Every structure is written in C-alpha cells, then in structure tokens.
Amino acid sequence: MAKHYEALQRAEAERRRKAVGEPAVMAPTEWDTTPASAPVRKRGSLKKILSFGSGRRDKIAVETANDINKRRITMLQPDSVVSEQFRTLRGRIDSLATQQSLKTVSVVSANSGEGKSMASINLAVVTSMSLGKKVLLVDCDLRNPSIHTSLGVDPAVGLGEVLTGSARLEEAITKIDTVNMDVLFVRGRPTNPSELLASVGMREMVEEVAELYDQVILDTPACLGLPDAKTVSELSDGIVLVVRAGVTPKEDVETMLEILDQRRILGMVLNGVAQNSSPTGPY
C-alpha cells in the first residue's frame, strides 16, 4: 500500500505540474522494442499486443468530427487495416481467455488523449462481431465521458444514475443495433465520482453484467493523478494498457505500472506509431 500511495503522490504532482503549464519532458519510445507480432506472455508479463498509427502527435488538439470518427473506425471502415489490428487484439485476448477468465477487461492509459476510449470502442465493436457473443461497453469515466459523443447517443440515464440508485441497470443500457453491442453510457456527472466507482454498488454492477454478457469492456478514466482507474481495473479480470508513441512519457508508464495490479495486465496497445511506408490508419 505504501508503494501505491507514493506512486499516486508522484502522479498527482505530475498532473499538477502539467496543469500549470510547465514543459513536459518527453521520453524516447525505445523502452518497448518488442515486435508487434510477438506472442503475448501469460498475465503479469507486459508485452505489446499490437501497434498502429500514422505518425506522432505531440499536442492534444481540440476534438473535431474527424477525431470522433477515428474512435469508431471499426464501425465506419470494418475492412480497414486498423480494423484488422483490432481483430488481432480480440484474437489475442480470446487466446488468453482459454487460460484464465477474462469476461471483464479494463482499458487503461496513463493520461487523457492517448487513445484509451478509441481502443475501448473499437475492441468492443470487433468483439461484438463474433457470432453469438453478447458484448457490453461501459464508460467508467464519470468526470470526462466521451463514449456517448463518439457513438452519437444522448442517453437519458447512465452509470452515475445506476450507482446512485436513481435508475435501474436495464434502463441505462443502450443497444447499438448496427453493431449488435450494448453500451452503458455516462449521463450525469456526480460530485463524488471516486466514491461511486469504489462503492459496493459498482462492484455488484460489474459482477451482474459479467453474468449477463460474454464480454464486458470497461473504459476507465486516465490513470495518473486520480484513483479511479485503479479502482475500476481491480474489478476486472484483465487490463489492456494504451500508450501513445512519442507522447506518453516513459516515467508515466512506469508510474502507471506501479499503481496497477500487474498480475492483471494482459499487454499493451502502442498507439500512434509512425510508419516507414504509407500510413495504414488515421491515428
């Protein structure tokens, strides 16, 4: 616990430093040199699951319609190379699921803007394409939700209302007919998000949907500076890390690994990789 507390303290200090505009130290990306085609090791051994992209993005720009479309690329361009990469990710997780229970998977990044929600949405979409598989995507970011914007849905109620008892779970789940996928969005933004995510109600909700669905994807808040991602990830069977090449500092990844339960980590998605040839995706 002391180690996790120290890591959270460092993460909070880093978040405050960035908030006041101090220049961030960008780390080189050679910290992970594993080929994208390499097999994933058993849980607890960090390996890159896949990498994709078309270049470095040093600054997180104001979100545009194109940015939103990128987060649902598997819906708009199901035959694209990027969609095939997410099918590869689905296949790797399915393979690991033969060795351990992986009904609930959290998708986590160190900071916002690194592609976590994009990975969550597209992984859920390609998983829903599996025949006879019931899939639920849950937006667990009660502070800055984005799944509803990406999918163009204005939910009447969502996760916050379920956790506060003002709505039933079945009322809050929305069916996305075009991809045979259900989503639990965020509607209202409660004043106590950390407490709600750490509540008995949240644990019971995750256990309930794990019984109702074949696969549950939990899109967590950014890991550093707040306890939310750690709280949610500990309710899941496995964790997929998302790192943006040339953007996520090495020390942020190291802190994230200290905070999270490494026994649950399945591997890493390296997002925004510069290609030597023609771009293979819009990221």
Q: Are 141 and 186 in contact (CB under 8 A)?
A: yes
pLDDT tens column, 127-177 = 998 888 999 999 999 999 999 988 989 999 999 999 999 999 999 999 998
pLDDT tens column, 82-116 = 778 889 999 999 999 999 999 999 999 999 999 99
User: Of 44-53, 212-221, 239-248, 265-274, which gets the smallest average pLDDT?
Assistant: 44-53
Distance of alpha carbon 104 from alpha carbon 102, whole angstroms? 5
Domains of the chain: 2-271 (3.40.50.300)
At 278, list the tokens: 């023609």
**What are the backbone angles phi and psi of residue 126, rounded to the nearest 5°?**
-70, -30
**pTM of the shown model:** 0.75
133: which residues sit within 8 A by CB, 6+ positions away?
127, 214, 215
